[in-house]
A and B are shown apart, each in its own frame.
Chain A
Amino acid sequence: MSAEYVLEMRNITKNYGENTVLNDVTLKVRPGEIHALLGENGAGKSTLMNVLFGMPVIHATGGFGGEVVLDGDKTNITSPHDAMTKGIGMVHQEFMLLPGFTVTENIKLNREVTRKNIVSRVLGRNMETLNMNAMSSAARKALDSVGMSIDEYTRVEGMPVGYMQFVEIAREIDKTGIKLLVFDEPTAVLTESEAKQLVSVMKAIAESGIAIIFITHRLDEVMEAADSITILRDGKLVTCLDKKQTSIIELAELMIGRKGEAMVSVEPREVPHDETAMSVRDLYVNMSGEEVRGVSFDVFKGEILGIGGLAGQGKLGIPNGVMSLYPSDGEVTLFGEQLTLGNASNALRMGIAMVSEDRKGVGLLLDQSIEDNIAFTAMQVKGEYLHKFGPISLKDGAAIRAQAEKMIKELDIRCFGPLQHSGTLSGGNQQKVCIARALTLNPRFLFVSEPTRGIDIGAKKLVLETLVKLNREMGMTIVMVSSELQELRSICDRIMIVSEGKLVDILSPAASDADFGLAMSGIKPDEHRGGEAQ
């Protein structure tokens, strides 16, 4: 305990190819403190942790710049196992537990207490007998220290999710010589009471002298548990703060920040609110990782509504649920007509089109030509682009070609021609094909989900401009889902923030960074301010 910091990561820089994901980031953790690591998706939290644990993905992509100092000694962590032996533990977001094994077996996995026997004397360590008693008493001790009364012989299978989280923590604590524990979004899957218990366990662990890095996006938890806070944004260190000298609003503001200039500038206008285009009531969507748990909202005719929020909070579930791509429940009306959920063709027939976030999985027929992709939905849903011969209908090659060429020209799809396979296009051009397919349906209402994901800047700009043009010139009502807040703020009339499957608030694009930050961590800005005022 000689050094002031148990861990210092100095000037860490990491590039993936041309893409800088970490730029000169420094993180310092004192012994026995809870250090919160804050940041939006893609801010570089995971990469920083990958560096700390010496994950193969880091070494395989050319290593990193900067140095890692443990207890004052410069070290080189080569693998996750190496990290473990050096006293760094991780509590994973997805549980790394074997369901069919007991709690004890999970806790002691690969660190079993063993006894020598005759066979092992001949064949080596791997043949030694397990000392179940010693193992279970060690597991018991670890479980007690996280305040868990569960029997150590219970199988993990069928346990409540919260329990699994604690078993994970117990496993890390059980490791001898542990100095530093990383909690990666530990409260994401916990109920409120479990989350509270977790925070108290973390505090107890910290008091025993083990430092904790706490990765989360819940600002209130940060304020409750953390001693100091490091904020990352766009791979850069924003600041390192002491909890006592900051407020939740400042944190929210720092976390969101202004990310560069808006790519597309739109003249400000009155938000249209004359006619409701779509009204959604109590929408529940069972999309794994993006569950929606009871969302209600209205979309006005002629507006661009943005849906934002952090990853895994359910923003993607909304369009997918309305389009019935995933099992969904709730009440949706479009221009006064009831939409029956459960079959994707209903929504399409009523004139809702969607550009999916999962371009390659749902959005495209990668093995088929651009023109077939563009005409497909219109052909199947509306029976267009077909020659009819009695009961038989054959596709109308000439009409499809004409439409495809028109779209290629209008959306500037860079390709060798309408017969090129969509799988061979670049991401941006694939996205344009998806948009072309949606437009070929002549929709009244357009869902655009993550339209700029994985495409280059030029294509991003063009896609956003296309959306604005569609909205302004053709009066199309658009709902755009995006993880890039800046993008939403640049073209949307209103922005809806979703957290944990629920609607937090609908904000104006002009609202402050702090408001967005608060909303994203699930706190309604007005209420928070109201709470502060009281």
Chain B
Amino acid sequence: MTKNKARRIVAIVLVAAAIVMGIAGGIFLPQRNGETARATTEELRIRTLLDVTGDGLVETYVKIARDEAMKVTKEAGGNMAARREAANKAEEETRALYANTETDYSTIDTSALAPAVAEYAARLEVYYNLTSDAEQAYIDAHMAEAEAEAEAAREAKIAAGEEVGEEKPVTVDMSGFVATPEMEAALADADAAFEDVAAALCGIYPALDDDALKTLKPTITSVVLQQGESFTDLYDRYMAAGSGKAVTAPTKAWLIRYADDLLYGAMALIVAAVIILFYETLSKKLGIPRIVLGVFFILLCFLCLWFDLSLATLLSNSLVRMGMNAVMVLAMVPGIQCGISLNLGLPIGLVAGLIGGLCTIEWGIPGVWGFVVAILVGCAIAAIAGWLYAQLLNRLKGEEMSVTTYVGFSIVSLMCIAWLVLPFQSLKLRWPMGTGLRNTIGLDSNNFKHVLDDFLAFDIGSFTVPTGLLLFMLLMCFLMWLFTRSKTGVAMSAVGNNPRFAEATGINVDKMRVIGTVLSTVLGAIGILVYSQSYGFMQLYTAPRQMGFIAASAILIGGASTSRCKISHVLIGTFLFQGVLTLGMPVANVLVPGSTISETLRILISNGIILYALTKSGGESRA
């Protein structure tokens, strides 16, 4: 009871905080485009300008002091070291002198500066608009040429048998670009306006000399130029220049700047409150692992918003990755239902699918038909291999987990030899010298790259919906669902659920296990082809080794146990797993820049989930 009470109190506090944050955000967010925001940015611009100029001034003083000190020491007959020491000492002293001086900006009269800056900004804008127009025209004129060049280079590479990487967007070489007369005129105009600004600044900082102004010009220009930039960007830039304290109403400016984050925070708090309030119901319905991952996913979404990453693009990416992986995850379903537990021998199917894909490239069948042929060939091979694999599993009942893992690893190693000796002739597939297939085979529009992804795909803002991919995923799930409702499917799931029960009904347990295993392997073959067409590459050699584990952990995240699963577990699990990985990487990169933390995170999550599931597999089968 008290626990419930505490929970309710926490939830109320959170909701109250959320309401406050939400109201604050709601009030201040619209002000970004309003007068306050404009005034604030103007003010900030002037202040930043003064600030950087002041800093430039300090540098000037420092320089003077150093020269002075050097000169004095030289006259006193000091050697080089002594001179340097004296100069450093003078610099330190000068800096110390100015470090703690708080400039009270409000006492400075900016009446002359403000209009000058505004004028300079306007002229600069004209100049930059002209520049970007001219540049775009240049690019348009030279695009075809550049494309032809890139294609030629690519052909040459293929002909020479070198590895061809992913197609990069063609770029136009800008070295031939020359400024137009209009641009030059605008630049002259702007420079004239800068003279006014410089004069106004000299009025404020009499010590400012021409040399210092020359050095400061790029800085001043960058401060003044604010064309096309949002309030947030400007605020952040001015803040970085160190003049936050200078604004008349810093709290208000801050609130306007972070109004969106306040709104996100409010939403996050409400989500947290809901989870705390309904924790028990949720954990009963979803299970703790799904809550943990779900909360983590939501947290990542909020972090993306917080760090101003494009959430829509990232979610779109996760949707694509979900579609890419879902069929492979679906391959776990017949395995679990027929009682061979997690089919970690999935690489058998993957390899079969890859061979199917190689065949279409070898035979040069383009587009959708290439994909269809790849699937047919892959399925045929997968069915045969799966049948043999099932015979092995039926002879080693009760040891499925180790058998599947072992088979998965050995087939990958075996195929590492096979890839070297398979008689494929296409230069796209072979190494240029010697024998054997390439490590990574790039697909292009001549093969089946993106046949599903691009089918009926459409954009909503920066959110791309890979319609074909999702439809295919749903179609496979639907077919699997139909199968589980068929007489054979029902018998198969009874075998997985309780083999003795199935036997007591006269069901051939071994046969059902064979059906399940073959089905799982065939789905694996289809899965890797779907994955490859979306990824744009077919990866041979050791690449398929991990995929079985990834698929297994995805379905376990979705709520399946090693003896029980549903189609919904596939969809939930794949989305959560891929979503967390897709969102986690950029967020981790922001949190810990320049690290490989995201890769570490991926390994941690996928292996951690498998480990967790295995601890559960021995216990009760009811999740």
Residue in A349, A354, A363 with the greatest tally of chain B CB atoms within 10 Å: A363
Asked if A395 and B485 make an inter-chain contact with CB atoms under 8 angstroms apart, the answer reads: yes
C-alpha gap A528/B497 in the complex (Å): 50
Asked if A364 and B487 make an inter-chain contact with CB atoms under 8 angstroms apart, the answer reads: no
Which B residues lie within 8 Å of A234 (CB)?
Answer: none
Asked if A376 and B490 make an inter-chain contact with CB atoms under 8 angstroms apart, the answer reads: yes
Asked if B505 and A345 make an inter-chain contact with CB atoms under 8 angstroms apart, the answer reads: yes
Asked if A376 and B494 make an inter-chain contact with CB atoms under 8 angstroms apart, the answer reads: yes
CB of A455 within 8 A of chain B? Answer: no
CB of B486 within 8 A of chain A? Answer: yes
Which B residues lie within 8 Å of A356 (CB)?
Answer: 504
Q: How far is the CB of A504 from chain B (nearest CB, A)?
A: 28
Asked if A362 and B486 make an inter-chain contact with CB atoms under 8 angstroms apart, the answer reads: no
Q: How far is the CB of A356 from chain B (nearest CB, A)?
A: 7
CB of A372 within 8 A of chain B? Answer: yes
Asked if A362 and B497 make an inter-chain contact with CB atoms under 8 angstroms apart, the answer reads: no
C-alpha gap A393/B483 in the complex (Å): 9
Asked if B503 and A423 make an inter-chain contact with CB atoms under 8 angstroms apart, the answer reads: no
CB of B507 within 8 A of chain A? Answer: yes
Asked if A379 and B490 make an inter-chain contact with CB atoms under 8 angstroms apart, the answer reads: yes
CB of A394 within 8 A of chain B? Answer: yes
- Given A368-B493, A383-B487, answer yes or no on A363-B506 (Cβ-Cβ < 8 Å): no
Partner of A392, one of B486, B507, B621: B486
C-alpha gap A367/B507 in the complex (Å): 18
Scan residues 461-502 of chain B and give those whose CB is less than 8 A from a CB of chain A: 482, 485-487, 490-491, 493-494, 497-498, 500-501
Residue in A365, A379, A397 with the greatest tally of chain B CB atoms within 10 Å: A365
Partner of B490, one of A366, A380, A421: A380
Partner of A393, one of B486, B501, B564: B486
Asked if A372 and B490 make an inter-chain contact with CB atoms under 8 angstroms apart, the answer reads: yes
Residue in A325, A348, A362, A363 with the greatest tally of chain B CB atoms within 10 Å: A362
Produce 1/0 per residue, A469-490, CB < 8 A to B: 0000000000000000000000
Which B residues lie within 8 Å of A423 (CB)?
Answer: 622
Asked if B501 and A362 make an inter-chain contact with CB atoms under 8 angstroms apart, the answer reads: yes
Asked if A394 and B486 make an inter-chain contact with CB atoms under 8 angstroms apart, the answer reads: yes
Asked if A367 and B506 make an inter-chain contact with CB atoms under 8 angstroms apart, the answer reads: no
Partner of A367, one of B491, B497, B503: B497
CB of A334 within 8 A of chain B? Answer: no
CB of B563 within 8 A of chain A? Answer: yes
Asked if A379 and B487 make an inter-chain contact with CB atoms under 8 angstroms apart, the answer reads: yes
Which B residues lie within 8 Å of A325 (CB)?
Answer: 500, 503-504
Q: How far is the CB of B221 from chain A (nearest CB, A)?
A: 71
Chain A: interface size category: 35 or more
Asked if A381 and B504 make an inter-chain contact with CB atoms under 8 angstroms apart, the answer reads: no
Which A residues lie within 8 Å of B494 (CB)?
Answer: 365, 368, 376, 380
Which A residues lie within 8 Å of B622 (CB)?
Answer: 366-367, 421, 423-424
Produce 1/0 per residue, A309-331, CB < 8 A to B: 00000000000000101000000
Q: How far is the CB of B251 from chain A (nearest CB, A)?
A: 56
Produce 1/0 per residue, B554-588, CB < 8 A to A: 00000000011000000000000000000000000
CB of A160 within 8 A of chain B? Answer: no
Partner of A395, one of B486, B507, B563, B564: B486
Which A residues lie within 8 Å of B490 (CB)?
Answer: 372, 376, 379-380, 395
CB of A344 within 8 A of chain B? Answer: yes
Asked if A365 and B501 make an inter-chain contact with CB atoms under 8 angstroms apart, the answer reads: yes
C-alpha gap A395/B482 in the complex (Å): 9
C-alpha gap A365/B503 in the complex (Å): 12
Residue in B485, B493, B506, B621 with the greatest tally of chain A CB atoms within 10 Å: B506
Which B residues lie within 8 Å of A392 (CB)?
Answer: 486
Asked if A344 and B504 make an inter-chain contact with CB atoms under 8 angstroms apart, the answer reads: yes
CB of A361 within 8 A of chain B? Answer: yes
Q: How far is the CB of A305 from chain B (nearest CB, A)?
A: 21
CB of A199 within 8 A of chain B? Answer: no
Asked if A380 and B507 make an inter-chain contact with CB atoms under 8 angstroms apart, the answer reads: yes
C-alpha gap A381/B501 in the complex (Å): 13
Asked if B487 and A386 make an inter-chain contact with CB atoms under 8 angstroms apart, the answer reads: yes
Produce 1/0 per residue, A390-407, CB < 8 A to B: 001111010000000000
The closest CB in chain B to the CB of A343 belongs to B506
Partner of B564, one of A349, A364, A367, A377: A367
Asked if A366 and B486 make an inter-chain contact with CB atoms under 8 angstroms apart, the answer reads: no
Residue in A349, A380, A381, A386 with the greatest tally of chain B CB atoms within 10 Å: A380
- Given A367-B621, A386-B487, answer yes or no on A345-B501 (Cβ-Cβ < 8 Å): no
C-alpha gap A358/B498 in the complex (Å): 12
Scan residues 486-530 of chain B and give those whose CB is less than 8 A from a CB of chain A: 486-487, 490-491, 493-494, 497-498, 500-501, 503-507
Produce 1/0 per residue, A413-427, CB < 8 A to B: 000000001011000
Which B residues lie within 8 Å of A348 (CB)?
Answer: 505-506
Which A residues lie within 8 Å of B503 (CB)?
Answer: 325, 344
C-alpha gap A421/B491 in the complex (Å): 17
Partner of A394, one of B482, B501, B505: B482
Which B residues lie within 8 Å of A394 (CB)?
Answer: 482, 485-487
C-alpha gap A528/B477 in the complex (Å): 70
Which A residues lie within 8 Å of B482 (CB)?
Answer: 394
The closest CB in chain B to the CB of A324 belongs to B506
CB of A346 within 8 A of chain B? Answer: yes
C-alpha gap A421/B622 in the complex (Å): 9
C-alpha gap A325/B621 in the complex (Å): 24
Which A residues lie within 8 Å of B497 (CB)?
Answer: 365-368
C-alpha gap A141/B34 in the complex (Å): 107
Asked if A361 and B505 make an inter-chain contact with CB atoms under 8 angstroms apart, the answer reads: no
Q: How far is the CB of A371 from chain B (nearest CB, A)?
A: 12
Q: How far is the CB of A397 from chain B (nearest CB, A)?
A: 8
Which B residues lie within 8 Å of A372 (CB)?
Answer: 490
Asked if A364 and B501 make an inter-chain contact with CB atoms under 8 angstroms apart, the answer reads: yes
C-alpha gap A61/B494 in the complex (Å): 37
C-alpha gap A381/B490 in the complex (Å): 12
C-alpha gap A421/B621 in the complex (Å): 12
Partner of B487, one of A365, A380, A397, A424: A380
The closest CB in chain B to the CB of A345 belongs to B506
Which A residues lie within 8 Å of B563 (CB)?
Answer: 367
Residue in A325, A367, A377, A423 with the greatest tally of chain B CB atoms within 10 Å: A367
Q: How far is the CB of A20 from chain B (nearest CB, A)?
A: 30
Asked if B485 and A362 make an inter-chain contact with CB atoms under 8 angstroms apart, the answer reads: no
Asked if A364 and B504 make an inter-chain contact with CB atoms under 8 angstroms apart, the answer reads: no
Q: How far is the CB of A359 from chain B (nearest CB, A)?
A: 10
- Given A380-B487, A395-B490, A421-B622, answer yes or no on A365-B498 (Cβ-Cβ < 8 Å): yes
Which B residues lie within 8 Å of A379 (CB)?
Answer: 487, 490
Which B residues lie within 8 Å of A363 (CB)?
Answer: 501
Q: How far is the CB of A232 from chain B (nearest CB, A)?
A: 34
Q: How far is the CB of A206 from chain B (nearest CB, A)?
A: 45
Q: How far is the CB of A134 from chain B (nearest CB, A)?
A: 44
Asked if B505 and A380 make an inter-chain contact with CB atoms under 8 angstroms apart, the answer reads: yes
Which A residues lie within 8 Å of B621 (CB)?
Answer: 366-367
Which B residues lie within 8 Å of A421 (CB)?
Answer: 622
Scan residues 369-399 of chain B and give those whose CB is less than 8 A from a CB of chain A: none
The closest CB in chain A to the CB of B498 belongs to A365
C-alpha gap A367/B498 in the complex (Å): 9
The closest CB in chain B to the CB of A361 belongs to B500
Scan residues 81-123 of chain B and give those whose CB is less than 8 A from a CB of chain A: none
Which A residues lie within 8 Å of B501 (CB)?
Answer: 361-365
The closest CB in chain A to the CB of B484 belongs to A395
Partner of A380, one of B485, B491, B500: B491
Q: How far is the CB of A521 from chain B (nearest CB, A)?
A: 32
Which A residues lie within 8 Å of B505 (CB)?
Answer: 344-345, 348, 376-377, 380-381
Task: Report 8 cross-chain contacts, Cβ distance below 8 Å, ordered by A residue.
Answer: A344-B504, A348-B505, A366-B498, A376-B490, A380-B494, A394-B485, A395-B487, A424-B622
Which 5 A-B pairs rank lowest in CB-CB distance, beginning with the nearest?
A345-B506, A344-B506, A393-B487, A365-B497, A362-B500
Excluding A362-B500, A368-B494, A423-B622, 16 further A-B contacts by CB distance (< 8 Å) are A349-B506, A354-B504, A361-B501, A364-B501, A366-B497, A366-B498, A367-B622, A376-B490, A376-B494, A376-B505, A379-B490, A380-B487, A380-B490, A386-B487, A394-B487, A395-B486
